[in-house]
Amino acid sequence: MNLLIELLAFAVAIGVLVVVHEYGHYSVARLCGVKVLRFSIGFGKPLFQWVSPKTGTEWTIAALPLGGYVKMLDERETGTAPIPADELPHAFNRQSVWRRFAIVAAGPVANFLLAIVLFALVFASGVTEPAAVLAAPAPNTPAAVAGFEGGETIVAVRVGRADDSEPVRSWSDLRWKLLGAAFDQKHIVLSAKDAHGVSDFPLDLRAISEKDVDDDFMSRLGFEPGGGKLMVAGVQPGSAAQRAGLVAGDRLRAINGTPTDNAATFIAYVKSHAGQPVTLQVERGGRGAQAAGKLEDISIVPQAQRDPATGQQIGRIGAELATQVPSIDVRYGPIESLQLGARRTWDLAVYSVRMFGRMIVGEASLKNLSGPVTIADYAGKSARLGPSAFLSFLALVSISLGVLNLLPIPVLDGGHLLYYLVEAVTGKVVSDRWQLVFQRAGLACIVALSAIALFNDLARLIHF
């Protein structure tokens, strides 16, 4: 059943993204007076064909659905009859360089517009997200240096000494604002409230480099979601947790006297205390009226194990953890939703470009590339989580598709745009000979990227 959901969600995602992308090319071509011969979803043998009596465009659904194309009237197309003189003004190659530029750029632009609309729908319909409550930060992290102790709720952020501040509505909102500030290496001020009121915490991100901005950058800054309940979800037989008496349903309140409400912080502490006894403050509840709410101190010695990733000895107790974090319902008005959708699309597009640049220069791992298997997996997972998650996933992939197509690689839209820019500057069309050379090089790049993405998919699938 899960496989069926993944395949169906993947087909819907690819179908929507391809139709939107190609319709961007089609609509601008029609506005520019170019005759479109075929609008195809997929490649290979046609499964469905229909010719519009008004425009003469052949609409096709083909057997291989991974992509699509728009075929326009063009004198450079080989193997076709000469174009009648009265139709020559409607040929793509007869258009001005800026019209050709607009037609080619319209596909990626359509993907970005789709992402804005999808994000706006998510923001307007409302989502339930973790509240921006902080767990106790690890020592010497930027959050700890700023003065956070844990339990504070971030309510606003402002840049440097600016008077205007932006509200922080959720943990996701906080993450995006910190991501933008880290990329731009800004000094910001976070406003947070606790039992004593609202206070300002200066956070200097000017020393953060782009290579530090990855999936773990929030943890690296010392920001982990807190304010919730850290529960024991299960205990492995024969583990240190079982020998110490931990059972499923126990709430972990503190470790060696330090309050804990975040799984990542707790696990990091346990890892750093391999073979050393630690004291857990545990709240027992749910197994009888007399035991409910009772606090107990339990001594436990994390077992020393070799970390396969680093080769170092780390501590493990053999307990499965679950965090129940406070959540908040976030809903925006129509105008604000569009503004936030546009900002989120811009931030993700910039982040994607920077990540790709870091991969090229070797500052980021090529393991970040994903192929159709991973996309199908996430499509199915997001579909099972609900409409908001699936729409957000669809927007993310749409942005990735738009950015990918704008890369200056021949055979992609970005490669053609590069040709047109050269033509606009020099006044000369890039010769067919050089276009053929660049096309072969671009095709080699695409094949290499596809092979790496597929390898990463298989590596994630079979864990090698």
Residues annotated as catalytic are 22
Task: Look up residue 369 and give its DSSP letter.
Answer: -
Distance in angstroms (rounded) separating the CA atoms of residues 372 and 464: 18
Long-range contacts of 138-142 (CB under 8 A, 24+ apart): 138/222, 138/265, 138/268, 141/220, 141/221, 141/222, 142/203, 142/204, 142/205, 142/221, 142/222
Q: What are the respective helix, strand and coil percentages of the chain, to the nearest 5?
A: 45, 25, 30
How far apart are the C-alpha atoms of 102 and 356, rounded to whole Å?
A: 25
Three-class secondary structure of residue 311 per DSSP: coil
Rounded distance between C-alpha atoms, residue 381 and residue 375, angstroms: 10
Strand partners, 279: 299
Spell out the residues 6+ positions from residue 233 whose beta carbon is closer than 8 angstroms to its own.
248, 319, 320, 321, 322
Largest Cα span, the chain: 94
For 227, left (φ over 0), alpha (ψ -120 to 50), or beta?
left
